Structure 1
Amino acid sequence: MDHHPSRPTPIPDAPPQGGAMAEADDRTADVRGTNWQGRRLGAVDLRGVKLCRADVRGADLREARLEGADLALARYDGFTRWPPGFAYARSGAVGPGAKLGGAFLNTTDLRGMDLRGAFMLGVYLSGADCRGALMQDMGFANGDLRRSRFCGALLTGSRFAYAQLEGCDFRAADLRGADFSAVESIAGAVFTGALGWEGWRDELLSRPCQELDCWNRLARCTTRESLEAIDAHGNTPGGPHG
Structure 2
Amino acid sequence: MTSAFTITSLSFERTTPEQQKPPGANQEGPFDARGADWRNLQLGEIDLSRARLCRIDLRGVDLQSCRLEGTDLRLARYDSHTIWPEGFDYRSCGAIGPQAKLNGAFLNSADLSGMNLEGASLMGAYLSGANLSGACLRGARLAGADLRYALLRGALCEGTRFMNCQLDYVDFRCAELNNVDLSGAGSIRGADFSGAIYLDGLRASLLGRPFQELDCWNPLTRRTTRESLDG
When normalised by structure 2's length, the TM-score is 0.87
The 5 Å alignment of 1:90-239 reads 90-229=92-231
CA contact (8 A) 1:13 1:22 kept: no
Q: In 2, Cα distance between the equivalents of 1:22 and 1:222?
A: 59
CA contact (8 A) 1:73 1:93 kept: yes
Residues 51, 134 of structure 1: CA spacing in aligned structure 2 closer, same or farther, 3 A cutoff?
same
Residues 23, 111 of structure 1: CA spacing in aligned structure 2 closer, same or farther, 3 A cutoff?
farther
Shift of 1:83: 1.1
Q: Which residue of 1 aligns with 2:13?
A: none
Letter in 2 for 1:51: L
Residues 23, 14 of structure 1: CA spacing in aligned structure 2 closer, same or farther, 3 A cutoff?
farther
Alignment length, in residue pairs? 215
Aligned CA RMSD, in angstroms, stands at 2.0
Residues 85, 24 of structure 1: CA spacing in aligned structure 2 closer, same or farther, 3 A cutoff?
farther
User: CA-to-partner distance for each residue in 1:166-189, whole Å, 9 max, x for gaps?
Assistant: 110000000021101221111111
Q: Which residue of 1 aligns with 2:3?
A: none
Counterpart among 25, 29, 34 of residue 28 in structure 2: 25
Residues 30, 23 of structure 1: CA spacing in aligned structure 2 closer, same or farther, 3 A cutoff?
farther
Counterpart among 42, 48, 51 of residue 50 in structure 2: 48
Q: In 2, Cα distance between the equivalents of 1:21 and 1:224?
A: 58
CA contact (8 A) 1:25 1:45 kept: no
Moved beyond 6 Å, runs of 4+: 20-23
Letter in 2 for 1:61: L
Letter in 2 for 1:102: G
Q: Which residue of 1 aligns with 2:78?
A: 76
User: CA-to-partner distance for each residue in 1:67-117, whole Å, 9 max, x for gaps?
Assistant: 111111100011101111111110000011111111111111111111111
Q: In 2, Cα distance between the equivalents of 1:215 and 1:47?
A: 50
Q: In 1, Cα distance between the equivalents of 2:41 and 2:89?
A: 20
Q: In 1, Cα distance between the equivalents of 2:68 and 2:27?
A: 11
Q: In 2, Cα distance between the equivalents of 1:95 and 1:140?
A: 14
When normalised by structure 1's length, the TM-score is 0.84
Gaps in structure 2 of 5+ consecutive residues: 1-16
CA contact (8 A) 1:49 1:70 kept: yes
